[in-house]
Structure 1
Amino acid sequence: MISKADITGIVLAGGQSRRMGFNKAEASLNGESMLTRMIEKLSALTPNLLLSTGSSTYPNIHWPQIPDEYINCGPLGGIYSAIKASTTPLNIVVSCDMPLISSSLLLQLVGQAMENDAMITVPVDADNQLQLLCAVYHKNILPLIEKQIKQKSLKLKMMASLASVNKVHINIHHPLYSPHTFTNVNTPGTLKTMRELWQKDR
């Protein structure tokens, strides 16, 4: 029986944020950075937490920060390095720029992952898209990811096509559905919208 102690929360916070113009992990949402808010959500699920930081550093964050072992490999490189550093079989990986993802949904993903042997437990949104930057990965997937990286095949969808996948459909009929759940904050305009939605939801 897998317990919460067998899960590591991994926050992806190493993106280059070209469209934002500054490190979006540090973008403020109601007085706290998106990174800090995601750390709070994951630390409520598990005592084990890692930050995938790429080439960035966060001096004021005291959780372990994992740089990319393979540079310039996008999210796949960050996922690989953090899961390699993890000491648990299951790892819930969430990008820091999904501020409206709910703790309830993250908890449901963890629960689903505990009940199956899939390498990836991933939500599928209302448009039938796999949300691989908000998914639970089994540590056994590491050799597959490393092989992809060495072959310069860096697309997350390719990884999902090669691994065993447990899909959790979050469509409009799901009790935790929200049209903005998986919205990524990549531009100042999206950040403004997320701030407005954050205030409206509270």
Structure 2
Amino acid sequence: TYPLFFFPTGQVLMIIDVTGVLLAGGKSRRMGEDKRFVLVGQRTLLERSCHILNELFDQVCVVIAQDSPSLQVEVPVIRDRIPDCGSLGGLYTGLRWAKTQHIFLAACDMPFLNPDVIRHMVRLKDEADIVISRWETRPQPTHAVYGRNCLPVIEEMIKVRNKKIHSMMDHSALRVRLIDEREIRRIDHDGRSMFNINTPSDLEQARSVHEHDAGTGLES
């Protein structure tokens, strides 16, 4: 069963049984400035990611660190329930906030989120507790679907001070469905949805890709 509303014409409207959760509380140490507010095209990274998630999901929130400055966006902004746990704490906070059984977790430093890739992953949510993309042999835990069954595992990890979100993939209590590079390329041929920005060099590359796409009419 596909988790979607439809217009009478059959046009897809919105995913209603998965919550979009955007992580936007990073320290941006390698970037040298707050990544959330750097521009790619006419939008900041934060705006680009929020826009995609808002187009896809009926419910969306942004998770920021406890000591992060406030954000002005069109969706609820919530602070980490658990300080200094990075993406793992953001995941936990998003799962606790969501009223749905599943969330799609994304990082706001991924400027080319692909709605079709995300829809594909969401459709597989009932097969596993985690549906996670893998690109160039590396799992992408901040581009993944997580179910509420992950909550006890995260709480256990926090108790033993294991902040590595990747560790969840090896936990015996969780079923994991990997979306490998070949599967992603069938939808997103160039794999640009997996691109993330950590450094000024990454930012320049993203801007170059955007300019090329805008010039060929692929992106506005």
Hey, what does 2:161 align to over in structure 1?
152
Residues 45-124 of structure 1 mapped to structure 2, 5 A cutoff: 45-55=56-66, 56-113=68-125, 116-124=126-134
Unaligned runs of 5+ in 1: none
Q: Which amino acid aligns with 2:133?
A: P
> Aligned-pair distance for 1:92?
0.4
2: CA distance, partners of 1:173 / 1:132: 18
| Residues 35-54 of structure 1 aligned to structure 2 (within 5 Å) | 35-54=46-65
TM-score, normalised to structure 1's length? 0.92
Distance 1:177 1:159 in 2: 28
Match of 2:26 among 5, 15, 21: 15
Superposition deviation, residue 156 in structure 1: 1.6
1:182 to 2:191 alignment: no
Q: CA deviation at 1:201?
A: 1.9
Unaligned runs of 5+ in 2: 4-14, 215-220
Aligned sequence identity (%): 29
Gap change, CA 1:76 and 1:155, over 3 Å in 2: same
State the alpha-carbon separation in 2 of the partners of residues 91 and 170 from structure 1.
22
Shift in Å, 1:35: 0.8
Higher relative contact order (CA 8 A, sep 6+): 1
- TM-score when normalising by structure 2: 0.84
**Residues in 1 aligned to 2:75 and 2:187: alpha-carbon distance in whole angstroms:** 32
Cα deviation digits, residues 21-78 of structure 1 (max 9, x gap): 2210111111211111111111111110010111324442131112111111111111
- Is the aligned partner of 1:137 residue 2:149? no
CA RMSD across the alignment:
1.7
**Structure number with larger C-alpha Rg:** 2
Count of aligned residue pairs for this structure pair: 199
- Alpha-carbon distance in structure 2 between the residues aligned to 1:5 and 1:179: 26
Q: Distance in 2 between matches of 1:43 and 1:181?
A: 17
Deviation string for 1:140-182 (max 9, x for gaps)? 2111111111211111221111121011223285242324331
- Tell me the distance in 1 between the aligned counterparts of 2:116 and 2:212: 19
SS of 2:94's equivalent in the other structure is helix
Letter of the structure 2 residue corresponding to residue 119 of structure 1: D
Query: Is 1:170–1:176's contact at 8 Å kept on the other side of the alignment?
Result: no
